[in-house]
Amino acid sequence: MASKYDFDLFVIGGGSGGVRAARVAAGDGVRVGLAEASRYGGTCVIRGCVPKKLMVYASEYRDLTQDARVYGWDIRDGPFDWPVFRQNLHTELDRLEGVYRNLLGNSGVETFDCRAKLKDKHTILLEDGTEKTAKTILVATGGYPVRPDLPNAELGIVSDDIFHLESLPKSILIIGGGYIACEFACILHGLGVEVTQYYRGAQILRGFDDEARGLVAEAMRDRGIDLHVGTNIVEMCLASEEQTPHVGSDAAMGAADDTGSQMPKEAVIAAAGPQGGPIRVKSTTGGEKIFDMVFFATGRAPSTNDMGLEEAGVKLGRGGQIVVDDHSRTDVDNIFAIGDVTDRVNLTPVAIREGMAFVETAFRDNPTPVDHDLIPSAIFTQPEMGTIGLSEEAAGEREEIEIYTSSFRPMQTAFAGREDRALMKLIVSKKTRVVLGCHIVAPGAGEMIQMAGIAIKMGATKEDFDRVCAVHPTMSEELVTMRSPTRTA
């Protein structure tokens, strides 16, 4: 019997989670529609993980070429050509977006290149005014970067903007101490920008293992990043406004506010950037400084504004996130949500897994909860941090633990005369011997933690690690050769 709906499933959002769910469901013969307001691939592919990682690679060549000379290569320093890299970057992003479009098309998903919102629990209203009905709806609209509530905050850029800059600034102030702030501090420093970073808390990368984040902070400072903790921005205005009374006074800040709020966003970015005018910033510690650019890496918010969600009965949390149960089901029985819009664990591979679990639950008669326990992740600072499980602090609160650590200078950079240190760390339950957490700060830590993560997810004990023969000479061999605990807690 023909369905009374246009689609069995309509997905709103063509990012990692939405695309995966749509094409897997379509592969099962489900009639799927998908609307994407911007570009296919979403945050990860278009303005997140992928372009960021390519920028990490670009930024690493500076040290690599210097080190290469010690290894005997006749390599000369040259300037970094941002327009060349940016052009190549966008060519690659265009290619990847094409791949995502093809994946959807080839699996039979009908796509709509426009914004979509809910009219009611079974009706989707497209931007052009047309309506589509669906038996099941999946919201996978992701999130967006937010600026702090500060006068003139529009003068600063956010992570979406960084990939489109006309030119790189000579100096930049990065606000925040999370993943994005720390990664871009390292990237931009590597590309030759003078980087200052303000973080309001006591130590960057809040929530991660203290020793590991302490080492990352130390390495960032050693490389020349001017990192200030316990510091935040309190005022900002175009430095050209300093002709007006005293900068930082109410009059000056008010004038800058007027200028900023009337300009279109692109023009503001250009004006605040190297083409236009530098920005004068006042910090909580009382100092005033001028930067070519200010970059707010102050968190992300779920994209739920003006989506018709609450009107359709979907419950939102205090942060605007869609509230879902273990099976990604909202308060409305036929509406599900996955990925960053639900603000559970905001990582691409998690959104993909949530999308797969949703298909099992909604279309394969196999209700599948999403497992959010022991998720490995990496922070692509320089050096990288790879992490899974509990930090020393969190584990110590829970039970008696042994801490195994090895801190050393990696062979490759030590040979080149660098002082960089690596850290391998295991947190072990004293009672069960199970490895509760693993934290690695080292070049390639992201690759290593993926492998260590398999063992830890399987419930490996310290003795299981010890039974594995070392691969020599590598950095990760330390993970299986740490014989006695450094300390207990």
> Annotated active-site positions, please?
472
What is the nearest approach in angstroms of ligand NDP to the Cβ of residue 17? 13
Does residue 377 touch ligand NDP according to CB under 6 A?
yes
Window contacting ligand NDP (CB under 6 A); options: 120-128, 305-313, 378-386, 406-414: 378-386
Out of 22, 25, 139, 181, point to the residue binding ligand NDP (CB under 6 A). 181
289 vs 433 by CB, closer to ligand NDP: 289
Asked if residues 387 and 209 have their Cβ atoms less than 8 Å apart, the reply is yes
- Helical ranges in 146-209 per DSSP H: 159-162, 179-190
What is the nearest approach in angstroms of ligand NDP to the Cβ of residue 441? 14
136 vs 304 by CB, closer to ligand NDP: 304
Beta bridge partners of 220: none
Using CB under 6 A as the binding rule, the residues of this chain from 193 to 232 that contact ligand NDP are 199-201, 206, 232
| Six-digit token string for 466 | 């010890």
Side chain identity at residue 345, one-letter code: V
Task: From residue 373, give the alpha-carbon distance in Å to each of 337, 432, 440, 459.
Answer: 19, 18, 19, 12
Out of 10, 112, 179, 363, point to the residue binding ligand NDP (CB under 6 A). 179
297 vs 370 by CB, closer to ligand NDP: 297
- Token pair 């999403």: residue: 370
Asked if residues 402 and 435 have their Cβ atoms less than 8 Å apart, the reply is no
| Six-digit token string for 227 | 């990192």
| Strand-pair category, 143-145 with 377-379 | unpaired
Task: From residue 89, give the alpha-carbon distance in Å to each of 37, 55, 58, 479.
Answer: 22, 9, 10, 36
21 vs 378 by CB, closer to ligand NDP: 378
Asked if residues 322 and 302 have their Cβ atoms less than 8 Å apart, the reply is yes
In sign, the C-alpha dihedral spanning 341, 342, 344, 350 is negative
Using CB under 6 A as the binding rule, the residues of this chain from 12 to 71 that contact ligand NDP are none
Closest residue to bound ligand NDP by CB? 178
Using CB under 6 A as the binding rule, the residues of this chain from 337 to 376 that contact ligand NDP are 346-347
Out of 17, 18, 41, 176, point to the residue binding ligand NDP (CB under 6 A). 176
Out of 34, 104, 138, 378, point to the residue binding ligand NDP (CB under 6 A). 378
Contacting positions for ligand NDP (CB under 6 A): 148, 175-181, 183, 199-201, 206, 232, 297-300, 346-347, 377-380
